[in-house]
Chains A and B, each alone.
Chain A
């Protein structure tokens, strides 16, 4: 529904370029207001802008899931998926040119689907072997995803929209450029910050702490010591949600060779039952065996797959702790925050603490509240704390 509203804005911008010079925008839309602001600030009209409502948005742009939190109370998240109808028939059936999030999963057979981010960055924006055509398609899809996520905040057309986007720590200039380009079409001012930093800022943990952000493609570990994290403070490993999915599929196939299931079915089971806890209830799924729905116990496979990332995370933790000032290593080890969509595995924080005890001589992990929104909540907090003149200078 918001798409329309902003589409309207885009239309009015296209149809009435003269509106750009008018600071009192009314229904001219955000895009117009963004342009207006750019043109008007030199004319000393920013005072008028400050009289408008400002909606602040924090966004966590993740490989698997994108989440936003806005100062108007809207909090939304969606799978980072985009789909385009495969042919005219699909287009007519779906009555849309582009679908996002859960709709893509629902109609995936009729769609050409894109998951534009991989390992935390836009596919093809780095030297990752993706051909130029596919890279361009991913870039366009990523832009549309950012735009859609911002539109989900449902900011009034005549308000100013300021947004902080948490981008992966290792996002390249190209990635950041793509994000900025996508965002500037729908918002008035945008800043990008490191995603793990946003999580830490949101929790007011700015020093002597370690943030683990488990996403789909990567797990980011970030050391906080009272300054903006630099390259040395951040470690990224490829063991995250996707690795668990792969392992889960592999283990179930080995344990139940007769069962027919897709990767998507395994992912759905993981989303419902992911656990590393021994005390968990048996995990029973009803999947077909020779065409007949059959109850299958996948408890052991689920626990093993979910636990498979723990040693890799603890190894990376050990690495990042060991390179820190020896005096503060114990404090750091005992102040580990666990966030990101992948951290919703039941018992994961305790499992990591336990493994740290065995291999690093101790440690304590705390799971953040609302793992899915931890990054976007932090980005929202940054956007609200940021002085207004900083926003105006970047608009």
Chain B
């Protein structure tokens, strides 16, 4: 294997590997650890590539083949890095989508409340005010004309006032209805837009969840509980029992509080 390829392999394998302190393994109860040296890994890769090439009638020699293998290896590692990055991005995106969905649901709730409030409004609620205005205008008119005024003139003047007030009533009502209608339409349009957005977000979230990468990291199988062979077995057993007892007491205290 060429020195360049060997060096690249070494660096890439170091980059891809996970480091675990020996003491951690010891604490986890591992007494023997299988070790495969980099040289052995290198030899195995070389052997595998060489065997495959031989079967295909090719030979692993010459700088071109070495360079090609090196490039292939680098490409695989890049692909792996890209894949990891993609998974990270997807998970981030999924997180953002879930938050967006929550926000949209909250806004939809608010808009829905606004629609209900708007529906409860009566656009003709100003008519009482107009009635009062009509009555005061008629009274003022009669007062102004005095008790000796021509009855016909008074009736005509009152009719004119009433007609003007009625026209105003119609105008106000129409404007209120139009405004109410416009507001309702605006709210409904907003609601529809939000619902469409929510639908889109939910389907995007579903897609992101389907492609959501690793489901989590499972634990290595562990035989739980203290091992009899532990040098401090009795002391630890007693201490663990005490921790458990204290936690039971804590829960009981919380229940009674």
List residues of A whose CB falls within 8 A of some B CB.
1-5, 7-8, 11, 27, 53-56, 70-74, 95-97, 153-157, 159, 173, 176-177, 180, 191-193, 201-202, 204, 206-207, 226-228, 369-370, 377, 381-382, 384-388, 390-391, 393-394
* Cross-chain contact A72 with B219 (CB below 8 angstroms): yes
* Cross-chain contact A95 with B225 (CB below 8 angstroms): no
Nearest A-chain residue to B94, judged by Cβ: A4
How far is A288 from B189 in the complex, measured between Cα atoms in Å? 54
Partner of B99, one of A96, A202, A384, A394: A96
Sorted from nearest, which 5 A-B pairs have the closest CB atoms? Answer: A1-B91, A156-B216, A4-B95, A71-B219, A72-B217
How far is A228 from B244 in the complex, measured between Cα atoms in Å? 11
* Cross-chain contact B95 with A154 (CB below 8 angstroms): no
* Cross-chain contact B253 with A173 (CB below 8 angstroms): yes
Q: Does B190 contact A (CB under 8 A)?
A: no
Count of A-B contacts judged by CB separation below 8 Å: 142
* Cross-chain contact A385 with B98 (CB below 8 angstroms): no
How far is A196 from B244 in the complex, measured between Cα atoms in Å? 17
* Cross-chain contact B225 with A154 (CB below 8 angstroms): no
List residues of B whose CB falls within 8 A of some A CB.
18, 20-21, 23-24, 27, 88, 91-92, 94-96, 98-99, 209, 212-222, 224-226, 230-232, 235-236, 238-240, 242-244, 246-248, 250-251, 253-254, 257
Nearest A-chain residue to B91, judged by Cβ: A1
Q: Could you tell me the distance in whole angstroms from the C-beta of B97 to the nearest C-beta in chain A?
A: 8
* Cross-chain contact A157 with B215 (CB below 8 angstroms): yes
* Cross-chain contact B217 with A156 (CB below 8 angstroms): yes
How far is A2 from B251 in the complex, measured between Cα atoms in Å? 29
**What B residues does A201 contact at CB under 8 A?**
236, 239
* Cross-chain contact B91 with A159 (CB below 8 angstroms): no
**What A residues does B214 contact at CB under 8 A?**
154
**What B residues does A386 contact at CB under 8 A?**
224-225, 240, 243-244
19 contacts between A and B (CB under 8 A): A1-B88, A5-B216, A8-B209, A11-B98, A53-B219, A56-B224, A72-B219, A96-B95, A154-B217, A173-B254, A180-B251, A193-B243, A384-B222, A385-B225, A385-B226, A385-B240, A386-B224, A386-B244, A394-B251
